[in-house]
Amino acid sequence: MPIKPEQVNSSKLPGALRGYDRDATDELLRRVAWDYLQVERAHSTAVEEAETLRSRVQELEAELASQRDGFDRELRERTAVLEAQLERVRNTLREHEQRDEMTRRLLESAQRSARELRESTRTECESLIKAAQRRAVEIEAESRATIRHSLREIDRLNKLERDLKLQLRTMLESVIGTSSAEPAPAAAPLAEHVPSSAVQ
């Protein structure tokens, strides 16, 4: 089970005869706990951002599906209107069969208008659907790129966490291993990794 920053900060190492410098070691533990806390916060932020991006992709996919359904519904409604108009024209033609030539011309004109209107409506709807699909692909690509960036940042933070743990373990082993020697300045190598605000 991984330790928490507050556990590092509150750790109390046992003292021994001619042991470590307690003040220096406590200061080192405070600095390590601060760095560890920053890494943990950055990791939490990256995970939240990745989850937000996944939610946004799902919302966009749902929006695209809704738009596609709307386009299909509109096409069906327009087709139904055109078919109803065509049926009315046919009924009118049947009522005026004695005017055969005029009736044929009227029917041809109505059919041509219906075909043109249906074709233009279909073309317009297909164009709108393709534009929406292209935009959805672009949004998905941007979201995936952001997610990949967030995952790389998480990997970097995990590596930093492992490096900090290794440095802490090495320094503690060094402090414990040199208990018979004169006390050496602790936390000097780690000072490079501690922000100035942490020391204050």
Q: What is the DSSP string of 100-162?
A: HHHHHHHHHHHHHHHHHHHHHHHHHHHHHHHHHHHHHHHHHHHHHHHHHHHHHHHHHHHHHHH
Computed over its alpha carbons, how large is the radius of gyration of the chain?
37
The secondary structure element, H or E, covering residue 36 is helix 22-95
Q: pLDDT grade, residue 197 (50/70/90)?
A: very low
We report the CATH number of the domain holding residue 10 as 1.10.287
Whether pLDDT at 124 is above 70: yes
The backbone region for 18, taken as left when phi is positive above 0, alpha when psi lies in -120 to 50, beta otherwise, is left
Q: pLDDT grade, residue 191 (50/70/90)?
A: very low
What are the backbone dihedrals phi and psi of residue 114, each rounded to the nearest 5 degrees, phi first? -65, -45
Residue-wise burial string across 95-133, b where 16 or more C-beta atoms lie within 10 A, e elsewhere: eeeeeeeebeeeeeebeeebeeebeebeeebeeebeebe
Number of domains in the chain: 1
Give the domain extent around 84: 5-199
Inter-CA distances, 20 with 33, 107, 170, 189, 192, Å = 19, 104, 15, 17, 22
Question: Mean pLDDT lowest for which of 7-21, 73-87, 168-182?
Answer: 7-21
Which two three-digit tokens encode residue 161?
Answer: 């966490």
Q: Is 183 helix (H, G, I), strand (E, B) or coil?
A: coil
Of the two residues 5 and 19, the one the predictor is more confident about is 19
Please enumerate in sequence order all residues whose Cβ is within 8 A of that of 176, keeping only pairs 6 or more positions apart, or say none.
20
pTM for this entry: 0.30
Residue-wise pLDDT tens digits, 48-68: 999 999 999 999 999 988 888
Whether pLDDT at 96 is above 80: no
Mean pLDDT for the chain overall: 79
**Cα atoms found within 13 Å of the Cα of residue 59, Cβ hemisphere only:** 7
Taking a C-beta distance cutoff of 8 angstroms, is the pair 50, 19 a contact? no
C-alpha 138/C-alpha 154 separation (Å) is 24
C-alpha 165/C-alpha 170 separation (Å) is 9
